[in-house]
Chain A
């Protein structure tokens, strides 16, 4: 199997598929992207022409009937991921799906269950790329106990524009398309939990500061997804994390992370600059993070190696996806009820 030829079909060719997965696949030996099914024949043809993909299908179900394909990449919005994954697994295809895993925790759990029914097939969830550049340095510092015992974490994921009242309805503002996913909360949590461990309790408050938007037809629709969120959660160790996400914090200082421990502090500032200091230091100093030492992007390599039996899927398994979807849904539930929500759900 190590040299098994991999023949990939693309189901949905959104931005990340075009920018990341296609180039990534093209770098893998004995792999060809043989087909694409997009929202329409024409939109499929555009992709096929751009990337020299031989076959275009008008419908993703036809693509799945193509027995020459042994792996698919699902690049649609989250609300289609369960349906497509189920169908793909039933047709015996390995599955790489885009993030977010699904719209709801229940869909994610269903996807995990289905994957377990097909242990011979590889299932993988594209990891977030938000923290690639700092991942290696941060993991190294955490592994060596730089912080001592972790006490608290403060995460800012703040956009810098003012509230765009009467702005356009984007799919991210639309519950039908996005489910419980909002702002960047799942991706941020994915990164934090991979570094620090999982939440076991979540409390959150949220607002929809831009409650009405114009849809594609110019009609005004009401928005059900928050655009400003404060989330608090607790780790099993007792450390507590606060995350603030907002699309309405004009002139904010952007994305930053502070990790405080009994012995050390790490700050990731805007532009992914890393600063750190320990007890006895008078200030934080910059931690060098040379580009040649940063973690590299290898999503398609991991997927195809797993198909070939050369490695196990780690970033990300469906199991990781279920956890972050449960956390995402816990945030929504806590916002709605004002209650703490325990994990797992």
Chain B
């Protein structure tokens, strides 16, 4: 299997596929992007021309019937991920699927179950790359006990823009497309669990600040996805976490993560610089994070290696995706019911 040729079909060629995966696939030896099925033959043709992809299919069903393909890259909106991933696995193709994993926890569960029925096939969700730069350093420091015992975590990712009251409807504002996914909370939570592990209990309050938006025809549509979220979590390790996300926090100072432990404190600032201090210190000092320490994008390489049996998927396997989808859904359930929601669901 070591140098097995990998022939990838693209299902949905959204921006991430074009900007990230295509260049990434290009670097994998013996991997060819051989076919594409997009929203229409014409939009498929456009992508094929741009990237010299030999075959264009009218629809994804035909693409999956192509026995010369042994892998697919799913680049559609989240509401199609379950349908396409399951069909692809059942057609015997390895799957690399865009994030977020799915629209709901149940869809993610279905995807995981089918992937387990095909253990010979690789099933990978595109990971959140947001914190790659600091993931290894944080994992190392926390793993080596810099903090002592972790007590609390605070994650903040707030847009510096004021509420875009006359803003357009984007697919991220549309629950039919995005499901329970809200803002970038899933992206940050996925990062957070790499450093401090999973949540076992979730309490949340959410708000829709911009309550209606214009669609492409200028019609006002009611918005049903929140643009402001506060989440409280109990982590499996006993620590307490707070996460805050908003698209309507004008002049906010940007992203920030704090870890407080019995013996030490670590902070990640808006530039992804890491600062730390211990009991006895008077202030935080910057922690060197040399390039060789930093994580980086290697999604397509990992996909190719996993297909060839030289690597097991860690960024991001379906079971981790299921967990973050359950957490994502728990946020909405808690905000709707006012109750703490235990994980797993």
Q: Interface on A for B, CB 8 Å cutoff?
A: 151-152, 154, 162-163, 165, 201, 203-207, 209, 228, 230, 232, 234, 238-240, 242, 244, 246, 248-252, 258, 260-265, 277-279, 281, 283-284, 338-340
- Cβ-closest 9 pairs across A and B: A340-B338, A338-B340, A205-B232, A251-B265, A277-B251, A260-B249, A279-B162, A242-B230, A232-B205
The closest CB in chain B to the CB of A341 belongs to: B338
Given the complex, which residues of B lie within 8 Å of A339, measured CB to CB? 338-340
Cα–Cα distance between A204 and B203 once the two chains are bound (Å): 8
Q: Is there an interface contact between B163 and A262, defined as CB atoms closer than 8 Å?
A: yes
> Contacts A203-B205, A265-B250, A284-B251 hold; do A249 and B152 have CB atoms under 8 A apart?
yes
Interface-forming stretch among B79-87, B136-144, B276-284?
B276-284
> Contacts A205-B203, A240-B207 hold; do A152 and B240 have CB atoms under 8 A apart?
no
Given the complex, which residues of A lie within 8 Å of B232, measured CB to CB? 203-205, 230, 232
5 further A-B contacts with Cβ under 8 Å, apart from A209-B262, A260-B248, are: A204-B232, A230-B240, A248-B152, A260-B249, A262-B163
Given the complex, which residues of B lie within 8 Å of A277, measured CB to CB? 250-251
Cα–Cα distance between A249 and B246 once the two chains are bound (Å): 24
Cα–Cα distance between A151 and B159 once the two chains are bound (Å): 13
> How many contacting A-B pairs (Cβ < 8 A)?
128
Q: How far is the CB of B37 from chain A (nearest CB, A)?
A: 42
Q: Is there an interface contact between A207 and B240, defined as CB atoms closer than 8 Å?
A: yes
Q: Is there an interface contact between B151 and A279, defined as CB atoms closer than 8 Å?
A: no
**Most-contacted residue by chain A among B165, B205, B251, B283 (CB, 10 A):** B251
Q: Which label, helix, strand, loop or mixed, suits the secondary structure of the B interface?
A: strand
Q: Is there an interface contact between A244 and B249, defined as CB atoms closer than 8 Å?
A: no
Q: Is there an interface contact between A246 and B250, defined as CB atoms closer than 8 Å?
A: no
Cα–Cα distance between A263 and B162 once the two chains are bound (Å): 7
Q: Is there an interface contact between B162 and A162, defined as CB atoms closer than 8 Å?
A: no
Whether a CB of chain A sits under 8 angstroms from the CB of B244 is: yes
Given the complex, which residues of A lie within 8 Å of B233, measured CB to CB? 205
Q: Which of B248, B284, B338 contacts A203 (CB 8 A)?
A: B338
Q: Interface on B for A, CB 8 Å cutoff?
A: 151-152, 154, 162-163, 165, 201, 203-205, 207, 209, 228, 230, 232-234, 240, 242, 244, 246, 248-252, 258, 260, 262-265, 277, 279, 281, 283-284, 337-340
> Contacts A260-B249, A265-B249 hold; do A238 and B230 have CB atoms under 8 A apart?
no
> Contacts A232-B205, A232-B232, A246-B260 hold; do A251 and B250 have CB atoms under 8 A apart?
no
18 interchain pairs, CB-CB under 8 A: A152-B246, A152-B248, A163-B262, A203-B338, A205-B240, A209-B262, A239-B207, A242-B205, A244-B154, A244-B242, A249-B258, A258-B249, A258-B252, A265-B250, A277-B250, A279-B250, A281-B251, A339-B340
Given the complex, which residues of B lie within 8 Å of A340, measured CB to CB? 337-339
Q: How far is the CB of A183 from chain B (nearest CB, A)?
A: 13
Given the complex, which residues of A lie within 8 Å of B263, measured CB to CB? 162
Q: Is there an interface contact between B230 and A232, defined as CB atoms closer than 8 Å?
A: yes
The closest CB in chain B to the CB of A203 belongs to: B203
Cα–Cα distance between A242 and B209 once the two chains are bound (Å): 16
Q: Is there an interface contact between B281 and A251, defined as CB atoms closer than 8 Å?
A: yes
Given the complex, which residues of B lie within 8 Å of A240, measured CB to CB? 205, 207, 228, 230
**Most-contacted residue by chain B among A165, A209, A228, A283 (CB, 10 A):** A209
Cα–Cα distance between A238 and B248 once the two chains are bound (Å): 14
Q: How far is the CB of B8 from chain A (nearest CB, A)?
A: 43
Given the complex, which residues of B lie within 8 Å of A279, measured CB to CB? 162, 250
Q: Which of A154, A162, A204, A338 contacts B262 (CB 8 A)?
A: A162
Q: How far is the CB of B226 from chain A (nearest CB, A)?
A: 10
The closest CB in chain A to the CB of B260 belongs to: A249
Q: Which of B234, B244, B279, B283 contacts A162 (CB 8 A)?
A: B279
Q: Is there an interface contact between A238 and B207, defined as CB atoms closer than 8 Å?
A: yes
Q: How far is the CB of A163 from chain B (nearest CB, A)?
A: 5
Q: How far is the CB of A160 from chain B (nearest CB, A)?
A: 10
Q: How far is the CB of A99 from chain B (nearest CB, A)?
A: 27
Q: How far is the CB of A217 from chain B (nearest CB, A)?
A: 26
Q: Is there an interface contact between A228 and B162, defined as CB atoms closer than 8 Å?
A: no
The closest CB in chain B to the CB of A244 belongs to: B242
Q: Is there an interface contact between A230 and B242, defined as CB atoms closer than 8 Å?
A: yes
Cα–Cα distance between A339 and B234 once the two chains are bound (Å): 14
> Contacts A162-B279, A205-B203, A279-B250 hold; do A228 and B240 have CB atoms under 8 A apart?
yes
Cα–Cα distance between A228 and B242 once the two chains are bound (Å): 12
Given the complex, which residues of B lie within 8 Å of A261, measured CB to CB? 250
The closest CB in chain A to the CB of B203 belongs to: A203
Cα–Cα distance between A228 and B204 once the two chains are bound (Å): 18
Q: Is there an interface contact between A252 and B265, defined as CB atoms closer than 8 Å?
A: yes
Cα–Cα distance between A250 and B262 once the two chains are bound (Å): 8
Q: How far is the CB of B173 from chain A (nearest CB, A)?
A: 16
Given the complex, which residues of A lie within 8 Å of B203, measured CB to CB? 203-205, 232, 338
Q: How far is the CB of A35 from chain B (nearest CB, A)?
A: 47
Given the complex, which residues of B lie within 8 Å of A265, measured CB to CB? 249-252
Q: Is there an interface contact between A248 and B165, defined as CB atoms closer than 8 Å?
A: no
Given the complex, which residues of B lie within 8 Å of A152, measured CB to CB? 207, 228, 230, 246, 248-249
Q: How far is the CB of B202 from chain A (nearest CB, A)?
A: 10
Given the complex, which residues of B lie within 8 Å of A207, measured CB to CB? 151-152, 240
Q: Is there an interface contact between A234 and B205, defined as CB atoms closer than 8 Å?
A: yes
Q: How far is the CB of B201 from chain A (nearest CB, A)?
A: 7
Given the complex, which residues of A lie within 8 Å of B262, measured CB to CB? 162-163, 165, 209, 248
Q: Is there an interface contact between B244 and A242, defined as CB atoms closer than 8 Å?
A: yes
Cα–Cα distance between A230 and B165 once the two chains are bound (Å): 30
Given the complex, which residues of B lie within 8 Å of A250, measured CB to CB? 260, 264-265, 277, 279
Q: Which of A151, A203, A244, A283 contacts B228 (CB 8 A)?
A: A151
Given the complex, which residues of B lie within 8 Å of A163, measured CB to CB? 151, 262
Q: How far is the CB of A139 from chain B (nearest CB, A)?
A: 21
Cα–Cα distance between A262 and B338 once the two chains are bound (Å): 25
Q: Is there an interface contact between A262 and B162, defined as CB atoms closer than 8 Å?
A: yes
